[in-house]
Amino acid sequence: MALLLYITCALGVALIVSRLLHKHRTRGMPYPPGPPGLPILENILDIPKEKEYKIYAQWGKQYGDVCSVSTFGTRLIILNSPEAVSDLMDKRSAIYSNRPAYTMAGNLCGWNDVLVLLPYAARLRSYRTMVHKMIGTKSALQEFDGFMEREAILCARRLLEDPNDFIGPIRKGVGAIILMISHGYNVKNEHDALVRAADDATDQIGILLTPGTFVVDLIPMLRFLPRWVPFHLKAQRWKALLHKMTDDSYSFAKAAMIEGRKLPNLVSRFMDGRQVSKEEESNIKWAASSLYSGGADTPVSAMHSFILAMVLYPEVQAKAQAEIDRIVGTDRLPTLADKESLTYIVCLMKEVLRWGHTSPLGAPHCVTRDDVYNGFFIPKGSVVIANIWHFLHDPDVYPDPHTFDPERHISSKDKPAQRDPYDVCFGIGRRTCPGTQLSDSMLFIFMVTLLATYNINKVKTSDGVGEPKYDFTSGVLIRPKAFRAALTPRSAAARALLNEEEV
């Protein structure tokens, strides 16, 4: 109790000092506007607990494209226009490329070693350079095209056995691709221990980065409480899981090099035949781990949205299948080489990323020094988030934004294409997702393979349970709420093609 009283008093003093310093630094300039808040508590009661991206969009209408709130002395800046994001995170990236300090995720659970939370410094640049050389360009990614095509076929083949579990086979296929690229690891079966550990670790980060989940993030001094308090016990379990995933996959990759197994992967690319320092080895190990933890969940969530869209919009599905039949034919399965010819499928994929965007607020950025933007004072230490969900659902940019319409991305003589979702959906500035090309290729080959071989329909039930709806979860990473879908082979020929295709 004495420790808690001390922490509370210290926090109160810190808040008062912080306010005085901020008031002095503003020189009369206002903060970006936002909800007025309360004395002492500031805006802690205004922070939304769910569907944050929708609340922030409403604030944008009320307070402007740049608005803010404050909790425990930290100012949260919300950007509700791509122009503001470009001005700050791109044109002023030197001071808007850092990450906030997450006590629970970073200090206690160990995610400070993973790319998503690394400060913008030499170590982060080292990670990004390695990832870029592996998968950052189309030419670099081509050596994995055959493997991605193989996993898409295997995913479709597994659905023949259990068409009701469409997410399980997709998750396994995506995980297999990324683990092959990061560590040269070939997934053994549906219940592979490394895939399961990686999935659990990926689920962690979505919880850890959700604002307000852990009080120790609001009051960092609480980390000095005894190790038996609940959040410390959880942090110990989660840190052990993250390190086990990282160490086990790295040990596999090193053993494969020693045994002469030469499957291309990030670890072998930067270690095989080289003398590396302990620092370089640590960077390689964690860069490979970052590739999986940062790249596995988003494509799976996007594929979840794709299945939902096909159920809700059968006319779109029929048009996409007609294009595949016309361009590819029915005597073979599509490949990545067909992408340039399948223009409607590419537009469908863009619409999936716009309509069902998986990371609605992107990753938060931290301001490294005081700044002024459009007459508003943005203090050092502010946390800045881009409301990407709003950018992709702004009715002024995308008329009828909640309708799934791939043709909005097709230009014609009388109608220009609407803004390309790729301009914002993979981030802006120095911390743009380095796995954009990989995500793009995986989404295309999985979508086109399923469309070529399956009809995706609504499950008819008498009780309405699992009825598909355009409704998504909350948090840092979102996906459609649980629904049912029926995937049936388009024809006997399609079924035979899946069973006969050599992989």
Query: pLDDT tens, 308-347?
Result: 999 999 999 999 999 999 999 999 999 999 999 999 999 9
Whether the CB-CB separation of 14 and 73 falls below 8 Å is answered with yes
**Number of other CB atoms surrounding residue 502 within 10 Å:** 5
Count Cβ neighbours within 10 Å for each residue of 422-456 and write b for 16 or more, e otherwise: eebbbbbbbbebbbebbbbbbbbbbbbbbbbbbbb
Read off the pTM: 0.91
Q: How confident is the model at residue 429 (pLDDT cuts 50, 70, 90)?
A: confident
Beta bridge mates, 38: 42
**Under CATH, which number does the domain 31-500 receive?**
1.10.630.10
* The predicted structure's pLDDT at residue 363: 84
Q: Which of 312, 306, 307 shows the shortest CA–CA distance to 352?
A: 306
- CA–CA dist 206, 225 (Å, integer): 25
Q: How confident is the model at residue 438 (pLDDT cuts 50, 70, 90)?
A: very high
* The predicted structure's pLDDT at residue 1: 44
1-49 confidence digits (pLDDT tens): 444 444 444 455 454 445 444 544 555 799 999 999 898 889 988 988 8
* The predicted structure's pLDDT at residue 197: 78
Where along the chain do its domains lie? 31-500
E-strand spans in 336-458?
365-366, 371-373, 376-378, 383-386, 454-457
Rg of the chain over all Cα atoms, to the nearest angstrom? 24
Looking at residue 313, the DSSP 8-state letter turns out to be -
76-117 confidence digits (pLDDT tens): 999 999 999 999 999 999 999 999 988 999 999 999 999 989
Average pLDDT over residues 213-237: 91
* The predicted structure's pLDDT at residue 106: 92
Whether the CB-CB separation of 7 and 221 falls below 8 Å is answered with yes
- CA–CA dist 339, 148 (Å, integer): 14
* The predicted structure's pLDDT at residue 209: 81
Alpha helices in 32-166 (DSSP H): 52-63, 82-85, 122-135, 138-141, 145-161
